[in-house]
RNA sequence: UCCUUGAUAGCUCAGCUGGUUAGAGCGAGUGACUGUUAAUCACUAGGUCCCUGGUUCGAGCCCAGGUCAGGGAGCCA
């Protein structure tokens, strides 16, 4: 058995492929089968004269997604996707599929999510999840080559890392237990034992968020390094992200092309990441400070004008095409083509209308940003649009950040946290920082945040026995996948997304 | 939780100011066509207009409440 990916090694030879029918067309005496086997796609041509009548009959009856075993000769054909096609010499039906729900046309997102188990078979999903796999693999490669040890934090936790409001509560032999929202505190314990560690596991947040950035269950990578300060932490984040981006660029060209990803921003992200303090970031958001000659507020206003110009152009095109269709005498195929075009244009128009509604809100929120607050989603969007590389923002007002972050010794108003904001409006993909080493300061913070002290005694022990400067960060895998693939929504970045209102399939 | 948009055939949608028997395309089925890349031609089947109540001679359309979904805010990775 041969996989489609290997066909170039078998030119002129006879091979047997096993897979599913991705598409089928027939003419008199010929059946074209687009075979999908998980490794790729390949057209197989069944000619009436080259196979038995029984086989040809079977070929004609193959429905979409039927399973089939095909033998044939590998022929070079530039017109084909993979550059090769199969001249069929033998065909065996494994199963004839019932009518496949996902048709070869546009579908709404709710329908596709209901069909997620089948949607995974489509080319676009295939490419995205292949890229996800490359990302996962290169994350492990990076940390392993850097001497990190992979360790797992527990998923059931008795203590709430940052308050219980957004945790999933479960029953643990009669006691309440929460699904982990971060392995970080455990990561610190493991770093004190092994030096440099990273966790890679699922995380759960019970936020009733309905935005393109949130999942209830997502995968997080959390490195933790003993003897690192915030600057070394930022160096590591930059090296790490650039390694992963480079691997994706090197190994996933075909997949990136399939999903139509313009890779220029990924390439420019191999340059140095700007490091802004919170103060600098706020000045940029409020439009008080320009970046590379660009002003945040002005660039949003320009974008709004562009959106409105595009809307006018699209409306004109829709009208134009509708008038054309209305004239009698147009061929049916051409009418269909135009109708599909119109439907697509209307969808584009809906997206633009969303932007038209959102951008003025973002401008308002940027102008009225109150110093001392955390950055909101739109603020992140505003700032990252001005750069073509990820941006790091560090030294935050300590009130808005987690209790375990270290204060800047030179200016204790600030906590030494760092957020990495992805370009192209994607926002936060990494959150991390240097950890507080002083036991008493931690106790004060725990009280300030109104957290149950008893649950943190084990954590505070780490400050009693060889407490050292240390730092780490958390990377949201799905957010990274979403950005690298330039997806509209995180739900496509994971095989089976779990989010508010979505538990099946 | 709040703001906003929506729910009509298997799918994507149209349905005007409330008016007779609810429409199209795609998909499916049948037939025609020797080279097609979702979108050649003809025919056929296919409907709880999200739910409950109300207004009206008459509701897919108006009103009230609910359910579900899209987008955004908050919160976050």
A250-300 pLDDT, tens digit per residue, is: 999 989 988 889 999 999 999 999 999 999 999 998 888 888 888 888 888
How far does the CA of A197 sit from the C1' of B18, in Å?
Answer: 69
Q: Is the pLDDT of residue A161 over 60?
A: no
- Residue A110 CA, nucleotide B7 C1', distance (Å): 12
Provide DSSP, A131-148: HHHHHHHHHHHHHHHTT-
Q: What pLDDT score was predicted for residue A103?
A: 76
Span A191-241, pLDDT tens digits:
999 999 999 999 998 888 788 888 999 999 999 999 999 999 999 999 999
Q: Enumerate residues 6+ apart whose C-beta is below 8 A from A149.
A: A190, A194, A195, A196, A197, A198
| Residue A397 pLDDT | 93
- Strand B contact residues in chain A (69-98), C-beta within 7 Å: 77, 79-81, 85, 87
For A10, list phi and psi in degrees, rounded to 5.
-120, 20
Q: pLDDT at residue A19 above 80?
A: yes
Q: Which nucleotide is nearest to A342 (CA to C1')?
A: B13
Tell me the C-alpha to C-alpha distance, in Å, between residue A198 and each of A88, A144, A207, A286, A327: 50, 9, 25, 37, 65
Spanning CA of A501 to C1' of B67, the rounded length in angstroms is 12
Q: What is the pLDDT of residues A401-411, one digit of tens each?
A: 889 999 999 99
Average pLDDT rounded to a whole number, residues A108-122: 89
Mean pLDDT score of chain A: 88
Residue A36, H or E segment: strand A30-36
What's the pLDDT at A292? Answer: 80
Protein CA A111 to sugar C1' B6 (Å): 15
pLDDT digits (tens, 9 = 90+) for A25-45: 777 778 888 899 988 888 898
ipTM exceeds 0.95: no
Per-residue flag: A358 CB under 7 A of strand B: yes
Nearest residue for B32, CA–C1': A28
- Bases of strand B lying below 7 A from some protein CB: 1-2, 4, 10-14, 24-29, 32-42, 68-77
Q: How much is the average pLDDT of A409-417?
A: 93
| C-alpha–C-alpha distance, residues A293 and A287, integer Å | 12
Q: Using a CB cutoff of 8 Å and minimum separation of 24, what contacts does A458-461 make?
A: A458/A189, A459/A185, A459/A188, A459/A189
Report the C-alpha gap between A71 and A290 in whole angstroms.
63
Better-predicted residue by pLDDT, A455 or A148: A148
Determine the nucleotide nearest to A491 by Cα–C1' distance: B70
- Per-residue confidence (pLDDT) for residue A462, from 0 to 100: 96
Within 110-139 of chain A, which residues have Cβ less than 7 Å from strand B?
110-111, 113
Q: Which among A297, A311, A423 is positioned nearest to A356, based on CA atoms?
A: A311
Q: Give the model's confidence band at A160: pLDDT under 50 very low, under 70 low, under 90 confident, else very high.
A: low
Query: Could you tell me what percent of chain A has a pLDDT over 90?
Result: 45
* Nearest nucleotide by C1' position to the A475 CA atom: B77
Mean pLDDT on A395-403: 90
What's the rounded mean pLDDT across residues A349-361?
80
pLDDT digits (tens, 9 = 90+) for A428-446: 999 999 999 999 999 999 8
Task: Indicate yes or no: strand B within 7 A of the C-beta of A330.
Answer: no
Task: Please give the structure tokens belonging to residue A483.
Answer: 């950005």
Query: Chain A, 361-390: which CBs lie within 7 Å of strand B?
Result: 361-362, 365, 373-374, 376-381
CA of A155 to C1' of B52 (A): 43
Q: Which residue has the higher pLDDT, A306 or A71?
A: A71
Residue nearest to nucleotide B76 (CA to C1'): A214
Q: For residue A114, give the nucleotide whose C1' atom is nearest its CA.
A: B69
């Amino acid at each position: 058995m041969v996989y489609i990916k290997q066909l170039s090694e078998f030119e002129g030879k006879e091979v047997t492929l096993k897979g599913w029918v991705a598409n089928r067309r027939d003419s008199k005496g010929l059946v074209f089968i687009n075979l999908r086997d998980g490794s790729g796609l390949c057209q197989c041509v069944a000619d009436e004269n080259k196979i038995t009548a029984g086989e040809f009959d079977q070929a004609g009856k193959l429905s979409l997604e039927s399973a089939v075993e095909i033998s044939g000769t590998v022929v070079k054909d530039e017109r084909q996707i993979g550059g090769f096609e199969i001249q069929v010499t033998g065909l065996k039906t494994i199963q004839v599929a019932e009518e496949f729900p996902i048709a070869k046309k546009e579908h709404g997102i709710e329908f596709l999510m209901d069909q997620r188990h089948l949607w995974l078979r489509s080319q676009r999903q295939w490419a995205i999840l292949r890229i996800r796999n490359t990302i996962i693999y290169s994350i492990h490669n990076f940390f392993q080559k850097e001497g990190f040890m992979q360790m797992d934090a527990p998923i059931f936790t008795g203590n709430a890392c940052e308050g219980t409001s957004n945790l999933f509560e479960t029953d643990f032999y009669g006691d309440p237990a929460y699904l982990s929202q971060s392995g970080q505190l455990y990561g610190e314990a493991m770093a004190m034992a092994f030096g440099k560690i990273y966790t890679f596991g699922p995380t759960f947040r019970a936020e009733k968020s309905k935005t393109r950035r949130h999942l209830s269950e997502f995968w997080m990578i959390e490195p933790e390094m003993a003897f690192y300060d915030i600057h070394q932490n930022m160096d590591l984040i930059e090296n790490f992200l650039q390694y992963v981006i480079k691997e994706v660029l090197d190994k996933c060209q075909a997949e990136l092309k399939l999903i139509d990803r313009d890779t220029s921003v990924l390439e420019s992200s191999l340059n140095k990441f700007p490091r802004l303090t919170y103060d600098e970031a706020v000045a940029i958001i409020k439009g008080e400070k320009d970046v590379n000659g660009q002003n945040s507020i002005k660039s949003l206003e320009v974008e709004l004008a562009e959106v409105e110009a595009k809307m006018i152009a699209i409306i004109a095109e829709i009208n134009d095409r509708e008038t054309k269709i209305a004239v009698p005498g147009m061929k049916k195929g051409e009418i269909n083509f135009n109708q599909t075009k119109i439907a697509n244009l209307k969808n584009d128009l809906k997206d633009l209308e969303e932007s038209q509604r959102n951008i003025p809100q973002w401008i308002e929120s940027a102008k009225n940003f109150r110093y001392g607050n955390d950055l909101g989603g739109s603020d992140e969007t505003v700032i990252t649009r001005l750069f073509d590389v990820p941006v790091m923002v560090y030294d935050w007002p300590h009130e808005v950040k987690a209790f375990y972050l270290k204060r800047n010794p030179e200016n204790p108003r600030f906590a030494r946290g760092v957020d990495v904001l992805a370009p192209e409006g994607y926002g936060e993909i990494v959150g991390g920082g240097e950890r507080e080493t002083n036991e008493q300061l931690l106790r004060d913070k725990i009280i300030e945040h109104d957290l149950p002290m008893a649950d943190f005694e084990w954590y505070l022990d780490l400050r009693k026995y060889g407490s050292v400067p240390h730092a780490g960060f958390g990377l949201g895998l799905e957010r990274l996948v979403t950005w690298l693939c330039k997806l509209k929504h995180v739900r496509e970045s994971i095989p089976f997304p779990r989010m508010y209102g979505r538990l099946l399939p």
